Amino acid sequence: MIDPGRRYPLPVSNPAGRVNSPSRAVVLAFLAVVLAGTSLLSLPIAAEEGQETPWTSALFTATSAVCVTGLAVLDTPAHWSVFGEVVILTLFQVGGIGIMSLSSILALIISGRLGLRARLSAQAETGSLGPGDIRQVILGVVGVTLAVETVTAAVLAARFMIGYGEPFGRALYYGVFHAVSAFTNAGFALFSDSMMRFVRDVWICLPLTLAVVAGGLGAPVYTVLRRHWRRPSRWSLHAKITLGMTAILLFGGALAITISEWNNPETFGPLSPGLRILAGFFHSAMTRSGGLNSVDTSQMHENSWLISDVLMFIGAGSASTGGGIKVTTFALLGYVILAELRGEPDVTAGRRRISEQLQRQALTIALVSVAAVVTGTLVMMMLTPFALDRVLFEVISAFGTVGLSTGITAQVGTAGHLVLTALMFIGRLGPVTLGAALALHVQTRRFRYPEERPLVG
């Protein structure tokens, strides 16, 4: 019988050659769904009559949907038919719930049982709290997803029907599509200007904002809240960090964006003070990986783009529908810096010591992500004529699976689209699979090298 509190040694080799890491199944599952989506979107029935869909555009759209990004090279309502829109909706719903979890369950059904190594890997990738909680977490994810999406869809459908005179069927369709898009942080919209026409409508912007925030918290947080929502003192450190950092980044980002764009005549300037605050709050939430926009992002000030870059790179919570390096990774790096500045021997957070292994994992994920963004930006600069600020925004948006754009997505050419497609795929799978691999790849040496102190700084 497995004791959850005991630390078992993990094998460092696999002589039998068996594929016992769900990480590989995750990548293959994502790739399979992307290719299936590409095939469906390439069909003539997926486009409006008279429209042709190039294979690269279908691949880009399918990847953007499965990786819940929202970048688009084609005008969603103008190019895609209802069939195509439903395919896109299905793709980002599947991507939002998480093929990581579904592939772990599939492996359990096929094999009949999971070995300890595979079980711990699935636990790391799904955000489960214990080796036996995988099924419970998945059911919880599905339950929370359907609950939030249903409530959001009902509010939006009622608003579209009452406020804009849409017939019941179309209002319900709009409500469901945008509710799922918001909770999964997909960033797709059935309006050519995204949500810009609703910038003055609280009943559209606020439900979408709350759904995006809810989708960015993650399964582990909901598990803790379900068990101990009345006792914050019993919340896990992960839940406390995620909720705290979410609030700080959400309201701090809203304040910074609102101040930056307050007098911009192309964005917040024509709005009343209250609506400017709403627009700033909306944009701040969408940089967490939401991807929708209520003002023209291409007309924002450059300093607003830089603020957005930072928020997009950090992203949302672990095991959530959001992307980025995750708020816990960012917070752990902050705790490491704080401990070093104070000269403390241990890194602590909430009266808990952070292991050196976890510190190295956070540092590795952050630096590898920086390298991916820098490399992607350099390649895009070589392929396109656009300035650094716009290219950097586009690259971070793709890697962080955000979906916001300064308006250059459709103009970067086929090679640029392929680069962005790769960044979306890597950005969605990279931090998750890398984190799981680092957590599992722990080796014990029977010796230590002599210590040396090279100069730092």
- Per the DSSP assignment, residues forming a β-bridge with 80 are 47
Q: How far is 447 from 296, CA to CA, in rounded Å?
A: 59
- In the predicted structure, residue 136 carries a pLDDT above the cut 80: no
Q: Among residues 402, 394, 336, 405, which one has the least CA distance to residue 366?
A: 336
Mean pLDDT (whole number) for 154-180: 96
Q: Among residues 151, 176, 153, which one has the least CA distance to residue 88?
A: 176
Q: How far is 442 from 357, CA to CA, in rounded Å?
A: 9
Cβ burial, residue 56 (10 Å; 0-12/13-18/19+): middle
**Band of residue 443 on the pLDDT scale cut at 50, 70, 90:** low
**Is 453 within the bounds of a domain?**
no
**Cα dist. 49→408, 410, 455 in Å?**
26, 21, 66
Mean pLDDT (whole number) for 200-228: 89
Question: Which of 126-135, 185-194, 263-272, 335-344 has the weakest average pLDDT?
Answer: 126-135
Name residue 275's amino acid.
L
Its pTM stands at 0.86
Task: Please give the pLDDT value at position 449.
Answer: 72
**Is 2 within the bounds of a domain?**
no
Task: Please give the pLDDT value at position 442.
Answer: 56
Are the CB atoms for 323 and 316 separated by under 8 Å?
yes
Task: Please give the pLDDT value at position 296.
Answer: 95
**Band of residue 438 on the pLDDT scale cut at 50, 70, 90:** low
Mean pLDDT (whole number) for 338-367: 87
Q: What is the DSSP letter of 49?
A: T
**Band of residue 355 on the pLDDT scale cut at 50, 70, 90:** confident
Are the CB atoms for 397 and 305 separated by under 8 Å?
no
Calculate the CA 401 to chain-centre distance: 5
Instruction: Provide the sign of the torsion angle of the four alpha carbons 53, 54, 59, 65, taken in this order.
Output: negative
Residues in the chain: 457
Compute the mean pLDDT over every residue in the chain, rounded to the nearest whole number.
84
- In the predicted structure, residue 257 carries a pLDDT above the cut 70: yes
Per residue in 83-115, pLDDT (tens digit) is: 999 999 999 998 887 654 554 444 444 444 444
Question: Which of 14-23, 70-79, 262-271 has the weakest average pLDDT?
Answer: 14-23
**Band of residue 272 on the pLDDT scale cut at 50, 70, 90:** very high
Q: How far is 290 from 212, CA to CA, in rounded Å?
A: 6
Task: Please give the pLDDT value at position 323.
Answer: 85
Q: How many domains does the chain have?
A: 1
Question: Which of 149-163, 396-410, 441-455 has the weakest average pLDDT?
Answer: 441-455
Name residue 407's amino acid.
G
**Is 42 within the bounds of a domain?**
yes
Q: Among residues 192, 188, 203, 214, which one has the least CA distance to residue 278?
A: 203
**Is 449 within the bounds of a domain?**
no
Mean pLDDT (whole number) for 359-365: 87
Are the CB atoms for 213 and 183 separated by under 8 Å?
no
Question: Which of 60-69, 107-116, 262-271, 342-351 has the weakest average pLDDT?
Answer: 107-116
Residue 343: strand, helix, or coil: coil
**Is 225 within the bounds of a domain?**
yes
Q: How far is 412 from 393, CA to CA, in rounded Å?
A: 13
Mean pLDDT (whole number) for 298-307: 96
Task: Please give the pLDDT value at position 50.
Answer: 78
- In the predicted structure, residue 193 carries a pLDDT above the cut 90: yes
**Is 154 within the bounds of a domain?**
yes
Cβ burial, residue 344 (10 Å; 0-12/13-18/19+): exposed
Task: Please give the pLDDT value at position 110.
Answer: 40
Question: Which of 35-49, 133-147, 202-216, 232-246 has the weakest average pLDDT?
Answer: 133-147
Using a pLDDT cut of 70, give the percent of the chain over it: 81
Structural domain harbouring 139: 22-440
**Is 402 within the bounds of a domain?**
yes
Task: Please give the pLDDT value at position 129.
Answer: 44
Q: How far is 373 from 369, CA to CA, in rounded Å?
A: 6
Task: Please give the pLDDT value at position 102.
Answer: 52
Q: How far is 198 from 153, CA to CA, in rounded Å?
A: 16
**Is 322 within the bounds of a domain?**
yes
Question: Which of 76-90, 188-202, 248-262, 321-335 has the weakest average pLDDT?
Answer: 321-335
Q: Among residues 395, 247, 257, 240, which one has the least CA distance to residue 313?
A: 395
Task: Please give the pLDDT value at position 125.
Answer: 41
- In the predicted structure, residue 11 carries a pLDDT above the cut 60: no
Q: Among residues 226, 17, 211, 10, which one has the least CA distance to residue 124?
A: 10
Helix axes 388-399, 413-440, angle to 10 degrees: 50
How does DSSP assign 390-403, residue by residue? HHHHHHHHHHTT--
For residues 439 and 28, the model is more confident at 28
- In the predicted structure, residue 190 carries a pLDDT above the cut 70: yes
Task: Please give the pLDDT value at position 439.
Answer: 54
Task: Please give the pLDDT value at position 253.
Answer: 96
